[in-house]
Structure 1
Amino acid sequence: MRLKIPQFLVALIIVGALILGSCSTQQGVSNSSPTSAATEASNNSTAETTAKEATTEAISVSESTNESIPGMKDLPRLEGKATVVMTVKGSPITIEVDGTNAPITAGNFVDLVQRGVYDGLVFHRVVRQPQPFVVQGGDPQSKNPKVPASQLGTGSFTDPKTGKIRYIPLEIKPKGSDEPIYSKTLKTAGTDKPPVLQHKQGAVAMARSQMPDSASSQFYFALADLGFLDGDYAVFGYVTKGMDVVNKIQQGDRIDSAKITSGGENLKNAGQ
Protein backbone atom coordinates (compact mmCIF):
# COMPACT_ATOMS: atom_id res chain seq x y z
CA MET A 1 0.00 0.00 0.00
CA ARG A 2 1.43 3.36 -1.01
CA LEU A 3 1.39 6.10 1.60
CA LYS A 4 -0.36 9.24 0.33
CA ILE A 5 1.23 12.49 1.48
CA PRO A 6 -0.87 15.69 1.30
CA GLN A 7 0.30 17.84 -1.60
CA PHE A 8 0.70 20.91 0.62
CA LEU A 9 3.02 19.04 3.00
CA VAL A 10 5.06 17.72 0.08
CA ALA A 11 5.43 21.25 -1.24
CA LEU A 12 6.69 22.52 2.11
CA ILE A 13 9.19 19.70 2.40
CA ILE A 14 10.72 20.07 -1.02
CA VAL A 15 10.76 23.87 -1.05
CA GLY A 16 12.59 23.66 2.25
CA ALA A 17 15.05 21.26 0.64
CA LEU A 18 15.76 23.70 -2.17
CA ILE A 19 16.28 26.65 0.15
CA LEU A 20 18.50 24.77 2.59
CA GLY A 21 20.57 23.44 -0.28
CA SER A 22 21.20 26.81 -1.90
CA CYS A 23 24.32 28.75 -2.18
CA SER A 24 24.86 31.72 0.09
CA THR A 25 26.72 31.75 3.37
CA GLN A 26 27.60 35.43 3.28
CA GLN A 27 23.97 36.50 3.15
CA GLY A 28 22.83 34.87 6.34
CA VAL A 29 22.31 31.17 5.69
CA SER A 30 24.26 28.24 7.05
CA ASN A 31 23.69 25.37 4.67
CA SER A 32 24.04 21.74 5.62
CA SER A 33 24.84 18.65 3.61
CA PRO A 34 22.21 17.23 1.23
CA THR A 35 19.51 15.59 3.32
CA SER A 36 17.08 12.85 2.49
CA ALA A 37 13.37 13.46 2.01
CA ALA A 38 12.72 11.40 5.13
CA THR A 39 14.93 13.65 7.25
CA GLU A 40 13.35 16.75 5.76
CA ALA A 41 9.89 15.35 6.52
CA SER A 42 10.80 14.96 10.18
CA ASN A 43 11.76 18.65 10.20
CA ASN A 44 8.85 19.94 8.14
CA SER A 45 8.05 22.69 10.65
CA THR A 46 11.49 24.19 10.01
CA ALA A 47 11.02 23.80 6.27
CA GLU A 48 7.63 25.53 6.54
CA THR A 49 9.15 28.48 8.39
CA THR A 50 11.98 28.75 5.89
CA ALA A 51 9.60 28.56 2.94
CA LYS A 52 7.51 31.38 4.38
CA GLU A 53 10.63 33.49 4.85
CA ALA A 54 11.63 32.85 1.25
CA THR A 55 8.36 34.18 -0.10
CA THR A 56 8.28 37.31 2.08
CA GLU A 57 11.91 38.44 2.27
CA ALA A 58 12.67 41.33 -0.10
CA ILE A 59 15.01 44.23 -0.64
CA SER A 60 13.35 47.56 -1.37
CA VAL A 61 14.56 48.61 -4.81
CA SER A 62 13.12 49.82 -8.06
CA GLU A 63 11.62 46.94 -10.00
CA SER A 64 13.15 47.44 -13.41
CA THR A 65 16.18 49.74 -13.56
CA ASN A 66 19.69 48.35 -13.59
CA GLU A 67 21.00 51.32 -11.60
CA SER A 68 18.73 50.45 -8.66
CA ILE A 69 21.07 47.65 -7.54
CA PRO A 70 24.74 48.50 -6.94
CA GLY A 71 26.97 46.87 -9.54
CA MET A 72 24.08 45.42 -11.55
CA LYS A 73 24.95 47.35 -14.70
CA ASP A 74 28.33 45.61 -14.72
CA LEU A 75 26.95 42.07 -14.47
CA PRO A 76 27.05 39.81 -17.54
CA ARG A 77 23.88 40.17 -19.59
CA LEU A 78 22.42 37.96 -22.31
CA GLU A 79 20.58 39.99 -24.95
CA GLY A 80 18.61 37.29 -26.71
CA LYS A 81 19.00 33.54 -26.49
CA ALA A 82 21.90 31.11 -26.35
CA THR A 83 22.30 27.35 -26.43
CA VAL A 84 24.44 25.50 -23.91
CA VAL A 85 25.29 21.81 -24.15
CA MET A 86 26.14 20.27 -20.81
CA THR A 87 27.63 16.79 -20.86
CA VAL A 88 27.13 14.43 -17.92
CA LYS A 89 28.71 10.96 -17.92
CA GLY A 90 29.30 11.28 -21.66
CA SER A 91 25.70 12.20 -22.55
CA PRO A 92 24.61 15.68 -23.71
CA ILE A 93 21.91 17.91 -22.23
CA THR A 94 20.88 20.80 -24.48
CA ILE A 95 19.70 23.94 -22.68
CA GLU A 96 18.07 26.94 -24.36
CA VAL A 97 19.01 29.93 -22.21
CA ASP A 98 16.53 32.81 -22.35
CA GLY A 99 18.13 36.23 -22.06
CA THR A 100 15.08 37.90 -23.53
CA ASN A 101 13.06 37.32 -20.37
CA ALA A 102 15.85 36.86 -17.80
CA PRO A 103 18.86 38.82 -19.13
CA ILE A 104 20.92 39.01 -15.92
CA THR A 105 20.26 35.46 -14.71
CA ALA A 106 20.85 34.03 -18.18
CA GLY A 107 23.93 36.20 -18.69
CA ASN A 108 25.45 35.06 -15.41
CA PHE A 109 24.96 31.39 -16.33
CA VAL A 110 26.35 31.75 -19.87
CA ASP A 111 29.33 33.74 -18.58
CA LEU A 112 30.12 31.00 -16.04
CA VAL A 113 29.84 28.40 -18.80
CA GLN A 114 32.21 30.42 -20.95
CA ARG A 115 34.69 30.63 -18.07
CA GLY A 116 34.59 26.83 -17.62
CA VAL A 117 33.30 27.17 -14.06
CA TYR A 118 30.87 24.25 -14.37
CA ASP A 119 33.34 21.78 -15.87
CA GLY A 120 34.00 19.02 -13.34
CA LEU A 121 31.43 20.15 -10.76
CA VAL A 122 29.21 17.72 -8.87
CA PHE A 123 25.44 17.45 -8.66
CA HIS A 124 25.32 17.55 -4.88
CA ARG A 125 21.54 17.40 -4.39
CA VAL A 126 19.09 15.07 -6.13
CA VAL A 127 15.51 14.93 -4.79
CA ARG A 128 13.15 12.38 -6.36
CA GLN A 129 11.20 11.28 -3.28
CA PRO A 130 8.44 11.55 -2.18
CA GLN A 131 7.99 12.83 -5.75
CA PRO A 132 10.31 14.12 -8.51
CA PHE A 133 11.65 17.54 -7.56
CA VAL A 134 15.09 18.81 -8.62
CA VAL A 135 18.66 17.95 -9.57
CA GLN A 136 20.94 20.67 -8.21
CA GLY A 137 24.60 21.47 -8.85
CA GLY A 138 27.00 24.31 -9.56
CA ASP A 139 28.88 24.65 -6.27
CA PRO A 140 32.47 25.55 -7.30
CA GLN A 141 33.80 23.81 -4.19
CA SER A 142 32.73 20.47 -5.61
CA LYS A 143 35.49 20.52 -8.23
CA ASN A 144 37.88 19.55 -5.43
CA PRO A 145 37.21 15.90 -4.46
CA LYS A 146 38.75 16.55 -1.05
CA VAL A 147 35.95 18.94 -0.04
CA PRO A 148 33.62 16.99 2.29
CA ALA A 149 30.11 16.27 1.05
CA SER A 150 28.71 18.04 4.11
CA GLN A 151 30.13 21.32 2.82
CA LEU A 152 28.68 21.10 -0.69
CA GLY A 153 25.79 23.42 -1.33
CA THR A 154 27.40 26.33 0.51
CA GLY A 155 29.69 27.62 -2.25
CA SER A 156 29.41 30.50 -4.70
CA PHE A 157 31.41 31.82 -7.65
CA THR A 158 34.31 34.03 -6.62
CA ASP A 159 35.57 36.35 -9.34
CA PRO A 160 39.32 35.71 -9.60
CA LYS A 161 39.91 39.33 -10.66
CA THR A 162 38.31 40.91 -7.60
CA GLY A 163 38.43 38.07 -5.10
CA LYS A 164 34.78 38.78 -4.33
CA ILE A 165 31.71 36.57 -4.65
CA ARG A 166 29.41 37.46 -7.54
CA TYR A 167 25.80 37.54 -6.47
CA ILE A 168 22.94 38.26 -8.85
CA PRO A 169 19.54 39.75 -8.04
CA LEU A 170 16.36 37.71 -8.09
CA GLU A 171 14.94 38.39 -11.55
CA ILE A 172 11.39 37.37 -12.52
CA LYS A 173 9.40 38.81 -15.42
CA PRO A 174 5.60 38.70 -15.04
CA LYS A 175 3.47 38.06 -18.10
CA GLY A 176 2.47 41.29 -19.80
CA SER A 177 5.39 43.26 -18.34
CA ASP A 178 8.10 44.94 -20.37
CA GLU A 179 10.80 44.42 -17.73
CA PRO A 180 11.56 41.87 -15.02
CA ILE A 181 11.00 42.59 -11.36
CA TYR A 182 14.23 42.57 -9.39
CA SER A 183 15.04 41.55 -5.80
CA LYS A 184 11.45 40.66 -4.97
CA THR A 185 9.26 37.61 -5.31
CA LEU A 186 6.15 38.30 -7.37
CA LYS A 187 4.03 38.04 -4.24
CA THR A 188 6.15 40.58 -2.42
CA ALA A 189 6.02 42.84 -5.46
CA GLY A 190 2.24 42.75 -5.24
CA THR A 191 1.47 41.13 -8.57
CA ASP A 192 -0.73 38.12 -9.18
CA LYS A 193 0.44 37.71 -12.77
CA PRO A 194 2.28 34.45 -13.48
CA PRO A 195 5.91 34.61 -14.61
CA VAL A 196 6.80 34.34 -18.27
CA LEU A 197 9.34 31.60 -17.46
CA GLN A 198 7.61 28.95 -15.39
CA HIS A 199 8.73 25.83 -13.55
CA LYS A 200 7.71 23.30 -16.16
CA GLN A 201 9.51 19.95 -16.35
CA GLY A 202 12.96 20.66 -17.73
CA ALA A 203 13.11 24.23 -16.45
CA VAL A 204 16.58 25.43 -15.41
CA ALA A 205 16.63 27.92 -12.53
CA MET A 206 18.92 29.46 -9.95
CA ALA A 207 19.15 28.12 -6.41
CA ARG A 208 19.42 30.68 -3.63
CA SER A 209 19.10 31.14 0.11
CA GLN A 210 16.08 32.86 1.68
CA MET A 211 17.66 36.19 0.73
CA PRO A 212 16.38 37.18 -2.74
CA ASP A 213 19.73 38.38 -4.09
CA SER A 214 21.87 35.44 -2.97
CA ALA A 215 22.04 33.38 -6.19
CA SER A 216 25.52 33.00 -7.63
CA SER A 217 26.45 29.81 -9.52
CA GLN A 218 24.23 27.01 -8.19
CA PHE A 219 21.37 25.98 -10.47
CA TYR A 220 18.78 23.22 -10.67
CA PHE A 221 16.82 21.21 -13.21
CA ALA A 222 13.10 20.78 -12.50
CA LEU A 223 12.23 17.07 -12.70
CA ALA A 224 8.49 17.79 -12.90
CA ASP A 225 6.10 20.71 -13.22
CA LEU A 226 6.72 22.70 -10.02
CA GLY A 227 4.21 25.51 -10.27
CA PHE A 228 4.38 26.28 -6.54
CA LEU A 229 7.92 27.64 -7.12
CA ASP A 230 6.75 30.12 -9.76
CA GLY A 231 7.31 33.70 -8.70
CA ASP A 232 9.81 32.74 -5.98
CA TYR A 233 12.80 31.44 -7.97
CA ALA A 234 14.32 32.64 -11.24
CA VAL A 235 13.92 30.31 -14.21
CA PHE A 236 16.28 31.24 -17.03
CA GLY A 237 15.98 28.43 -19.57
CA TYR A 238 14.74 24.97 -20.47
CA VAL A 239 16.15 21.59 -21.42
CA THR A 240 15.28 21.08 -25.10
CA LYS A 241 17.09 17.76 -25.55
CA GLY A 242 18.47 15.23 -23.08
CA MET A 243 15.84 15.24 -20.37
CA ASP A 244 16.36 11.48 -20.23
CA VAL A 245 19.95 12.23 -19.21
CA VAL A 246 18.78 14.63 -16.48
CA ASN A 247 16.42 11.96 -15.16
CA LYS A 248 19.34 9.55 -14.72
CA ILE A 249 21.62 11.93 -12.80
CA GLN A 250 22.55 10.65 -9.37
CA GLN A 251 23.94 12.56 -6.42
CA GLY A 252 27.70 12.74 -6.87
CA ASP A 253 27.68 12.64 -10.68
CA ARG A 254 29.96 15.23 -12.28
CA ILE A 255 29.51 17.61 -15.17
CA ASP A 256 32.02 16.57 -17.82
CA SER A 257 31.78 19.91 -19.60
CA ALA A 258 29.44 22.79 -20.45
CA LYS A 259 29.86 24.65 -23.74
CA ILE A 260 28.09 27.47 -25.56
CA THR A 261 27.13 26.15 -28.98
CA SER A 262 25.20 29.17 -30.28
CA GLY A 263 24.25 32.67 -29.18
CA GLY A 264 27.56 33.47 -27.52
CA GLU A 265 27.61 36.78 -29.37
CA ASN A 266 24.56 37.83 -27.34
CA LEU A 267 26.56 37.82 -24.12
CA LYS A 268 27.56 41.29 -22.97
CA ASN A 269 29.97 42.26 -20.16
CA ALA A 270 31.52 38.79 -20.37
CA GLY A 271 34.39 38.30 -17.96
CA GLN A 272 33.30 41.21 -15.78
Structure 2
Amino acid sequence: MFKLAAAFSLLATSALATGLEIQIEGEANGTVKIDLFEDVAPKHVEQIAALAAEGKYDGVVFHRVIEDFMAQTGDVQFGRIGGDMSRAGMGGSERADLPAEFSKLPFDRGVVGMARSQNPNSANSQFFIMFKPGHFLNGDYTVVGQVTEGMDVVDAIKRGAGNNGSVLGKPDVMSKVVVTE
Protein backbone atom coordinates (compact mmCIF):
# COMPACT_ATOMS: atom_id res chain seq x y z
CA MET A 1 0.00 0.00 0.00
CA PHE A 2 2.81 2.41 0.89
CA LYS A 3 4.58 1.82 -2.45
CA LEU A 4 1.40 2.59 -4.39
CA ALA A 5 0.75 5.80 -2.40
CA ALA A 6 4.37 6.93 -2.81
CA ALA A 7 4.27 6.26 -6.56
CA PHE A 8 1.02 8.21 -6.92
CA SER A 9 2.45 11.10 -4.89
CA LEU A 10 5.59 11.20 -7.05
CA LEU A 11 3.52 11.13 -10.24
CA ALA A 12 1.27 13.92 -8.98
CA THR A 13 4.19 16.19 -8.12
CA SER A 14 6.22 15.53 -11.27
CA ALA A 15 3.45 15.90 -13.85
CA LEU A 16 2.71 19.57 -14.38
CA ALA A 17 -0.42 20.17 -16.39
CA THR A 18 -0.17 22.85 -19.06
CA GLY A 19 -3.23 24.87 -19.91
CA LEU A 20 -4.49 28.06 -21.49
CA GLU A 21 -6.58 30.86 -20.09
CA ILE A 22 -8.24 32.75 -22.94
CA GLN A 23 -9.99 36.09 -22.52
CA ILE A 24 -12.65 36.42 -25.23
CA GLU A 25 -14.31 39.70 -26.24
CA GLY A 26 -17.15 40.45 -28.64
CA GLU A 27 -20.58 38.85 -28.57
CA ALA A 28 -18.98 36.44 -26.12
CA ASN A 29 -17.27 38.04 -23.15
CA GLY A 30 -15.42 36.09 -20.52
CA THR A 31 -12.67 33.63 -19.77
CA VAL A 32 -12.22 30.12 -21.12
CA LYS A 33 -9.84 27.71 -19.41
CA ILE A 34 -8.39 24.80 -21.35
CA ASP A 35 -6.41 21.82 -20.08
CA LEU A 36 -3.84 20.88 -22.74
CA PHE A 37 -3.04 17.18 -23.16
CA GLU A 38 0.76 17.14 -23.37
CA ASP A 39 0.72 13.36 -22.87
CA VAL A 40 -1.56 12.87 -25.92
CA ALA A 41 -0.17 15.47 -28.36
CA PRO A 42 3.15 16.75 -26.98
CA LYS A 43 4.37 18.49 -30.15
CA HIS A 44 1.05 20.28 -30.69
CA VAL A 45 0.80 21.34 -27.04
CA GLU A 46 4.39 22.60 -27.11
CA GLN A 47 3.65 24.69 -30.22
CA ILE A 48 0.39 26.15 -28.87
CA ALA A 49 1.97 26.96 -25.50
CA ALA A 50 4.99 28.61 -27.16
CA LEU A 51 2.79 30.75 -29.43
CA ALA A 52 0.63 31.76 -26.46
CA ALA A 53 3.69 32.59 -24.31
CA GLU A 54 5.01 34.78 -27.14
CA GLY A 55 1.69 36.67 -27.27
CA LYS A 56 1.00 35.47 -30.83
CA TYR A 57 -2.63 34.55 -30.06
CA ASP A 58 -3.47 37.92 -28.48
CA GLY A 59 -5.84 39.80 -30.78
CA VAL A 60 -6.62 36.79 -33.00
CA VAL A 61 -10.25 36.34 -34.07
CA PHE A 62 -12.61 33.39 -34.29
CA HIS A 63 -12.80 33.40 -38.08
CA ARG A 64 -14.82 30.21 -38.69
CA VAL A 65 -17.74 29.37 -36.41
CA ILE A 66 -20.31 26.77 -37.41
CA GLU A 67 -23.54 26.33 -35.42
CA ASP A 68 -23.79 22.91 -33.71
CA PHE A 69 -20.20 22.10 -34.72
CA MET A 70 -17.21 24.22 -33.65
CA ALA A 71 -15.49 27.62 -33.28
CA GLN A 72 -12.09 27.99 -35.01
CA THR A 73 -9.34 30.49 -34.23
CA GLY A 74 -5.55 30.71 -34.07
CA ASP A 75 -4.52 32.14 -37.46
CA VAL A 76 -1.67 34.26 -36.10
CA GLN A 77 -0.63 35.25 -39.63
CA PHE A 78 -3.89 36.58 -41.15
CA GLY A 79 -6.42 36.45 -38.31
CA ARG A 80 -5.43 39.47 -36.25
CA ILE A 81 -8.18 41.96 -35.35
CA GLY A 82 -7.79 45.23 -37.22
CA GLY A 83 -6.03 43.60 -40.17
CA ASP A 84 -7.29 42.51 -43.58
CA MET A 85 -9.66 39.74 -42.52
CA SER A 86 -10.23 38.50 -46.09
CA ARG A 87 -7.48 35.88 -45.65
CA ALA A 88 -8.27 34.88 -42.05
CA GLY A 89 -8.03 31.13 -41.76
CA MET A 90 -5.48 30.73 -44.55
CA GLY A 91 -2.37 31.24 -42.44
CA GLY A 92 -0.40 29.77 -39.62
CA SER A 93 2.72 30.85 -37.81
CA GLU A 94 6.41 31.12 -38.62
CA ARG A 95 6.90 27.76 -36.94
CA ALA A 96 7.00 24.50 -38.89
CA ASP A 97 3.85 22.46 -39.50
CA LEU A 98 3.41 19.52 -37.17
CA PRO A 99 3.18 15.78 -37.80
CA ALA A 100 -0.20 14.34 -36.85
CA GLU A 101 -0.57 13.07 -33.29
CA PHE A 102 -3.85 11.21 -33.63
CA SER A 103 -5.30 9.46 -30.59
CA LYS A 104 -8.35 7.49 -29.55
CA LEU A 105 -9.81 10.47 -27.67
CA PRO A 106 -13.23 11.39 -29.10
CA PHE A 107 -14.26 14.82 -30.33
CA ASP A 108 -16.90 15.52 -27.70
CA ARG A 109 -18.35 18.83 -26.53
CA GLY A 110 -15.59 21.12 -25.26
CA VAL A 111 -12.75 19.18 -26.89
CA VAL A 112 -10.04 21.29 -28.50
CA GLY A 113 -8.59 20.02 -31.79
CA MET A 114 -5.98 21.23 -34.24
CA ALA A 115 -7.16 22.59 -37.57
CA ARG A 116 -5.27 21.49 -40.67
CA SER A 117 -5.51 21.26 -44.45
CA GLN A 118 -6.13 18.00 -46.33
CA ASN A 119 -2.58 16.98 -45.38
CA PRO A 120 -2.73 15.30 -41.95
CA ASN A 121 0.73 16.71 -41.16
CA SER A 122 -0.20 20.36 -41.77
CA ALA A 123 -1.45 21.58 -38.37
CA ASN A 124 0.35 24.72 -37.27
CA SER A 125 -1.31 27.35 -35.06
CA GLN A 126 -5.06 27.12 -35.68
CA PHE A 127 -7.34 25.22 -33.33
CA PHE A 128 -11.05 24.71 -32.77
CA ILE A 129 -13.40 24.09 -29.85
CA MET A 130 -16.33 21.71 -30.27
CA PHE A 131 -19.87 22.94 -29.49
CA LYS A 132 -21.24 19.40 -29.78
CA PRO A 133 -19.77 15.93 -30.39
CA GLY A 134 -18.25 15.46 -33.84
CA HIS A 135 -17.15 11.85 -33.81
CA PHE A 136 -16.62 11.88 -37.60
CA LEU A 137 -13.35 13.73 -36.74
CA ASN A 138 -12.13 10.93 -34.45
CA GLY A 139 -8.76 9.55 -35.52
CA ASP A 140 -8.40 12.10 -38.35
CA TYR A 141 -7.61 15.25 -36.35
CA THR A 142 -5.34 15.81 -33.36
CA VAL A 143 -7.02 16.31 -29.97
CA VAL A 144 -4.97 18.80 -27.93
CA GLY A 145 -7.15 19.62 -24.95
CA GLN A 146 -10.48 20.13 -23.21
CA VAL A 147 -12.34 23.19 -21.97
CA THR A 148 -12.52 22.96 -18.17
CA GLU A 149 -14.24 26.30 -17.49
CA GLY A 150 -16.13 28.79 -19.63
CA MET A 151 -18.12 26.64 -22.06
CA ASP A 152 -20.90 29.20 -21.64
CA VAL A 153 -18.48 31.77 -23.12
CA VAL A 154 -17.63 29.41 -26.01
CA ASP A 155 -21.35 28.86 -26.63
CA ALA A 156 -21.82 32.64 -26.99
CA ILE A 157 -19.14 33.12 -29.71
CA LYS A 158 -20.54 34.89 -32.78
CA ARG A 159 -21.61 32.39 -35.42
CA GLY A 160 -20.49 32.52 -39.03
CA ALA A 161 -22.52 32.32 -42.21
CA GLY A 162 -22.79 29.75 -44.98
CA ASN A 163 -21.52 26.20 -45.09
CA ASN A 164 -17.96 27.15 -44.14
CA GLY A 165 -19.02 29.34 -41.19
CA SER A 166 -17.08 32.47 -42.19
CA VAL A 167 -17.72 35.17 -39.62
CA LEU A 168 -18.97 38.39 -41.21
CA GLY A 169 -18.68 41.85 -39.70
CA LYS A 170 -16.88 42.09 -36.38
CA PRO A 171 -15.78 38.65 -35.13
CA ASP A 172 -15.16 37.70 -31.52
CA VAL A 173 -11.50 37.88 -30.54
CA MET A 174 -9.06 36.24 -28.16
CA SER A 175 -7.91 39.47 -26.53
CA LYS A 176 -5.39 37.76 -24.23
CA VAL A 177 -4.12 34.16 -24.09
CA VAL A 178 -2.00 33.08 -21.11
CA VAL A 179 -0.23 29.77 -20.51
CA THR A 180 -1.08 28.25 -17.11
CA GLU A 181 0.44 25.39 -15.14
User: Which bracket does the TM-score occupy, shorter chain normalised?
Assistant: 0.7 to 0.9
Structure 2 residue aligned with 1:199: 107
The 2-side partners of 1:154 and 1:209 are apart by 9
1:232 to 129, 140, 146: 140
Moved over 3 A (4+): none
Q: Which runs of 5+ in 2 are unaligned?
A: 1-14, 159-166
Letter in 2 for 1:104: K
More RCO (CA 8 Å, sep 6+)? 2
Structure 1 window deviating more from structure 2 (88-97 vs 238-247): it is 88-97
What are the within-5 Å matches in structure 2 for residues 102-251 of structure 1? 102-128=41-67, 132-140=68-76, 141-143=78-80, 145-147=82-84, 149-158=85-94, 165-173=95-103, 195=104, 197-250=105-158, 251=167
Structure 1 residue aligned with 2:12: none
For the pair 1:257 / 2:167, whether they are aligned, the reply is no
Contact 2:59–2:80 (8 Å) recurs in 1: yes
2:32 to 90, 93, 101: 93
The 2-side partners of 1:237 and 1:142 are apart by 22
What are the within-5 Å matches in structure 2 for residues 14-53 of structure 1? none
Shift of 1:218: 0.6
Shift of 1:144: 5.2
Shift of 1:146: 3.2
Letter in 1 for 2:92: S
Letter in 2 for 1:170: A
The 1-side partners of 2:36 and 2:108 are apart by 14
Tell me how large the CA RMSD over aligned residues is: 1.4
Q: Which has the higher strand share?
A: 2
Q: Which runs of 5+ in 1 are unaligned?
A: 1-78, 159-164, 174-194, 263-272
Contact 1:80–1:100 (8 Å) recurs in 2: no
Equivalent pairs: percent with the same residue? Answer: 35
Shift of 1:84: 1.1
Q: CA-to-partner distance for each residue in 1:195-224, whole Å, 9 max, x for gaps?
A: 1x2201000010000011111101000110
Contact 1:80–1:99 (8 Å) recurs in 2: no
Letter in 2 for 1:138: G
Contact 1:83–1:96 (8 Å) recurs in 2: yes
Shift of 1:150: 2.8
Bigger Rg, which one: 1
For normalisation by structure 1, the TM-score amounts to 0.54
For the pair 1:81 / 2:17, whether they are aligned, the reply is yes
The 1-side partners of 2:65 and 2:157 are apart by 8
**2:49 match: secondary structure:** helix
**1:260 match: secondary structure:** strand
**1:171 match: secondary structure:** coil
**2:18 match: secondary structure:** strand
For normalisation by structure 2, the TM-score amounts to 0.80
